[in-house]
Amino acid sequence: MGDNKVTVEELVRFPALQLRVMAGENGLGRSVSWAHVSELEDPTPWLLGSEVIMTTGIGVPRSAAAQRAYLERLDDAGVAALALSAGLHVPPLHKGFFDAAEKRGFPVLEVPLAVPFIAIAQEVAAAVQEDARQRLGAQLQVFGALRWLASEGLDAAGVFKRLERLSGYDVYLSTPQGRPLLPGVPVPPDGAALPSSPDAPPTIPGGFALPVPAPGGPAGFLVAFEREGARPAGLAVVQHIATVAALQVAMVRTERETLRRQGAETLADLLQDLLDPAAARRRLVRMGLPPEADVVLLVVRNAADDAVVRALDDHPHLMLRRHQDLYVLMPHLTTDPPARPGHAVADPGATGRGGVDFEVAALREIPGIAVGVSRPLPPGSSLKVAQREALWAAARAAESGRPLVSYGEDTTGRWLPDDTGVLAGLVEHVLGDALRYDAEHGSGLVASVRTWMERDRRTDDAARALHIHPNTLAYRLRRFGALTGRDLAATGDFAEVWLAIRAGRQLGRIS
């Protein structure tokens, strides 16, 4: 019966069985793994797929709609064919039943009363006996996967390529959301193959889909499709491959968590200028950052750590939580990296920042997020200036409601010097008396002037933003002018105050 693997067509051609095709001739090429008697109206919870279901007709419904649903359930469960005993309890079969069989290519066979079901079962068993020996050999080899991991140092892609060769399946791994689960292992080409829940039956058309177990719930799913021309080793082998995947996921998660902790420690040291440039570069390389690429510092607000981790996925980065802000150090790429499976390349001109936009594009999708990005700087450099830039940009993002702002996008802020002494002198010279007055009286004069300026001197709009009466705002503007000696109606004084406020925000003195 051809290559130790029986098909429905070969069963039909076997003279002793005298089977007659009643419908679904296009599906005669389906593989048969077993032949089983069932008189249940829904035997699918107990099936693995590729069975020939034999019945005297007791479980076949009588109505047209129920008969069609019965056939569709069997086909959806991966049943190879339905064999009905002639002349016993089979009810009259409706046209809709046969139409569904033809449409789906689901073989419906008639078994003569003289042919016992055991004859069909024995024929199938004999045909698959040699195949069972091959499956056992494959199982024994697949069980050695842990030894390969320990002795050969294979990565995930190498392990699963070898498992594919041994099992006879094309293997895919995916998170429940359809994203890559392990580096180098592709996601299923058809997202519809993913089960709707971890408790779904393992059989799918052309193969199996199994959950990859993990603490707290499945990490994702393994999908295995029979490879054309191969000899698939069966569900037991696929289940073991899912176990190997679970171990790999646990290893990757442990490694990532270790790197994340080390990365947080390194970023904390960099923000405090505790590392000399050479030591800093060595640490960054150990964390996976490219040795020659410039880096950028991000300050992320209004987003949970887990959401940011998922958004950055497997891009190299260091991350540190400081109070309400999340600091992220990552490469600044001058060209966009190639697209990974299932990921689109961001438009490099979207923000004028090329690779940075590619890296943080997914961050934009987090609701309410505010991200500030510093200018690029060489790896290992002091982060003092970059920290001020990222904080300033994050504040601008939060104020404007934009998900991401890069330092330098503002036409005014770019003219401020990097020298903190010069900036501090500007703030003191212009705003010093007003800031001290605010600190002593809690009056909010500087904040009121900033809000008024940001709203293009529209007093009513600024008053609404500050939740005060316009007359109160007008008083604060006059009081500010008296303290600072600046006339906000004069262009020169207005520009000087505006630059001083921007400098104060860059230094963190003004919120």
What percentage of the chain reaches a pLDDT higher than 70?
86
* Region 79-95 average pLDDT: 92
Name the one residue in this structure whose structure tokens are 């036409």.
411
DSSP secondary structure string, 194-246? S-SSTTS-SEETTEEEEEE--TTS--EEEEEEEPTTS----HHHHHHHHHHHH
Greater pLDDT, 136 or 415:
415
Res. 2: pLDDT tops 60: no
Lowest mean pLDDT among 120-129, 348-357, 389-398: 348-357
Q: What confidence tier does 95 reach under pLDDT thresholds 50, 70, 90?
A: very high
Give the per-residue pLDDT at 341. Answer: 35
Question: What is the DSSP pairing of strand 325-331 with strand 370-373?
Answer: unpaired
CATH number 3.40.1390.20 is the correct assignment for the domain at 6-129: yes
Greater pLDDT, 14 or 68:
68
DSSP secondary structure string, 297-341? EEEEES--HHHHHHHHTTS--EEEEETTEEEEEEE--SSPPPPPT
* Region 167-192 average pLDDT: 86
Greater pLDDT, 236 or 223:
223
- Please provide the distance, in angstroms rounded to a whole number, between the alpha carbons at the two ends of the chain: 80
Give the per-residue pLDDT at 489. Answer: 92
CA 48 – CA 210 distance, rounded (Å): 12
CATH class, 420-507 region: mainly alpha
Give the per-residue pLDDT at 147. Answer: 61
Alpha carbons within 13 angstroms on the beta-carbon side of residue 90 total 20
* Region 85-97 average pLDDT: 91
Greater pLDDT, 207 or 54:
54
Q: What confidence tier does 64 reach under pLDDT thresholds 50, 70, 90?
A: very high
- Report which of 402, 242, 418, 268 is spatially closest to residue 328, judged by C-alpha positions: 268
* Region 450-458 average pLDDT: 91
Contact assessment for residue 342 and residue 333, using Cβ atoms and an 8 Å cutoff: no
DSSP 488: T
CATH class, 272-410 region: alpha beta
- Report which of 337, 505, 331 is spatially closest to residue 426, judged by C-alpha positions: 505
| Residue environment code for 303-320, b if the CB has 16+ CB neighbours within 10 A, otherwise e | beeebbeebbeebbbbbb
Q: What confidence tier does 352 reach under pLDDT thresholds 50, 70, 90?
A: very low
Could you check whether 6-129 and 272-410 share the same CATH topology? no
Alpha helices in 272-372 (DSSP H): 277-286, 305-312, 355-360
Greater pLDDT, 53 or 419:
53
Give the per-residue pLDDT at 144. Answer: 59
Q: What confidence tier does 348 reach under pLDDT thresholds 50, 70, 90?
A: very low
Three-state DSSP at 7 gives: strand
Q: What confidence tier does 4 reach under pLDDT thresholds 50, 70, 90?
A: very low
Please write the tens of the pLDDT for every residue from 279-288.
999 999 988 8
Q: What confidence tier does 343 reach under pLDDT thresholds 50, 70, 90?
A: very low
Contact assessment for residue 466 and residue 454, using Cβ atoms and an 8 Å cutoff: no
Lowest mean pLDDT among 14-18, 189-193, 401-405: 189-193
Q: Could you state, in order of their start, the residue ranges of all structural domains in the chain?
A: 6-129, 143-253, 272-410, 420-507
Q: What is the CA radius of gyration of the chain?
A: 34
C-alpha dihedral sign at 394, 395, 396, 397: positive
| Residue environment code for 439-457, b if the CB has 16+ CB neighbours within 10 A, otherwise e | eeeebebbebbbbbbbbee
Residue 119: CB partners within 8 Å, gap ≥ 6? 16, 17
Give the per-residue pLDDT at 96. Answer: 94
Q: What confidence tier does 251 reach under pLDDT thresholds 50, 70, 90?
A: confident
Give the per-residue pLDDT at 5. Answer: 64
Q: What confidence tier does 143 reach under pLDDT thresholds 50, 70, 90?
A: low
Q: What angle do CA 355, 358, 363 make, to 5 degrees?
A: 130
Q: Which residues pair with 23 in a beta bridge?
A: 108
Give the per-residue pLDDT at 110. Answer: 95
Give the per-residue pLDDT at 189. Answer: 85
